[in-house]
Amino acid sequence: MEETPEYKDKNEGEIPEIKVETKTKKPEAMKEKIPANFSSTKLWLKVVVGLYFLSIIMAFILITKTPQKKSSYKNDFSKIISLASKDGIGIISVSGPISQADSRNIFERGSSRISVKIKKMSEKKNIKAILVDINSPGGTVGAVQDIYAAIIRAKKKTKKPFVARIGDVAASGGYYIASACDKIVSNPGSITGSIGVIYSMGNYEGLMKKIGFKTETIKSGKFKDIGSPSRQMTKEERELLQSMIDDAYSQFVEAVSTGRNMSLEVVKYLADGRIYTGRQAYKAKLVDVLGDFQVAVDLAGEMGKLGKDPKIVRDIDSLDQFFSFLNVKTDIFSRLGAERFLAVGPRLEYRWEGF
């Protein structure tokens, strides 16, 4: 019997390598899909936001669009031109706290913008009188005086009559502006007056001591940090600020005395900061006529020799209307009262604090 030859495996003692194919996806492949899905989500978010704002704009256009009467005459441009050039009264609105515009904020509508509107409106040939519709508690001294000066300048240049109408409130700086007009109309229950000046600021010295916070000030003069909230006011600083208040107050009194044709003594008696209803102001001769908006319109029409119920021209551009609409619906441009002290700081104001 033949012997079977001995077979020796050259790989004896070694563990054979077993290759197993799996269908598991590589991490790299999974990573590639995550950014793609994420970017797709971002795209949809942009589309949704875009459609949202587009719907607001379209709604605004539909709301503000004035329906026009159908004319039986086609292409009758002469009627359109005659309607646009028809004589009427212009209306300028002054609403909310009055201040200078913040150049960094495109939504800000400050006193300079109102002054420009007064100038442009008064220079239009078809505008025979201006109605200043005021609903404001006043504001900073400089901003209020800007609008006041614009009215005085327009009256002197164009010789056109100005009528002020007091809405809910025209106090302090609001009344300062009204006094520049030839006549003032107020509802019996409107709030006006508050003739005076105020300078308010906070004092955080006690709080800073409790939390262990201290400020160090290096200044060129002893009054350089006047109004600092980190320390008590000195007697000299209080006297200095009071002299500023007195000077700004005298300017207010003189403006009312000139505009209302009243003696300084009478105005000073009325100008102790108190507020009046429209009826009380009428008795004190701070107001000429008691009535609503239509009464003010009729008075402006008669003073402009147009008669009662004249054509009304409002100088409101589309941007103003759009932002006003957003402000009413979403209140996204409103400000907290604390900002006056925390962000802006103390200011000299013709302003009623109760609004």
Query: Cα-flanking dihedrals φ and ψ of residue 168, to 5°?
Result: -65, -45
Specify burial of residue 167 (Cβ count, 10 A radius: 0-12, 13-18, 19+). buried
Residue 232 gets which letter from DSSP? P
Contact (Cβ atoms closer than 8 angstroms) between residue 194 and residue 172: yes
Give me the phi and psi of 157, to 5 degrees please. Answer: -80, -45
Any idea what DSSP says for residue 169?
E
Helix (H) or strand (E) holding 132: strand 127-136
Q: CA separation (Å) from 46 to 35, 42, 330? A: 16, 6, 20
- Give the integer Cα–Cα distance in Å for 315 and 204: 45
From the list 178, 144, 155, 353, the residue with the least C-alpha distance to 248 is 144
Instruction: Let me know: does 313 contact 88? Beta carbons within 8 Å.
Output: yes
Candidates 108, 88, 53, 50; CA nearest to 320 is 108
> Do the beta carbons of residue 286 and residue 176 sit within 8 Å?
no
Instruction: Quote the CA–CA distance of 140 and 100 in Å, as a whole number.
Output: 8
Which string of DSSP letters, residue by residue, matches 319-355? HHHHHHHHHHHH-TT---TTHHHHTS---EEEE-TT-
As a residue count, the chain comes to: 355
Q: Among this protein's residues, is 120 annotated catalytic?
A: no
| Alpha-carbon gap, residue 165 to 142, rounded angstroms | 22
Query: Strand 127-136 relative to strand 183-186: parallel, antiparallel, unpaired?
Result: unpaired
Contacts of 105 (CB under 8 A, 6+ apart): none
Q: Is 172 a catalytic residue?
A: yes
Which residue of the set 42, 157, 222, 224 is catalytic?
Answer: 224
Of the residues 122, 172, 179, 257, which is catalytic?
A: 172
- Residue 310 is encoded by which pair of tokens? 């004249």
As annotated, the active-site residues are: 172, 224
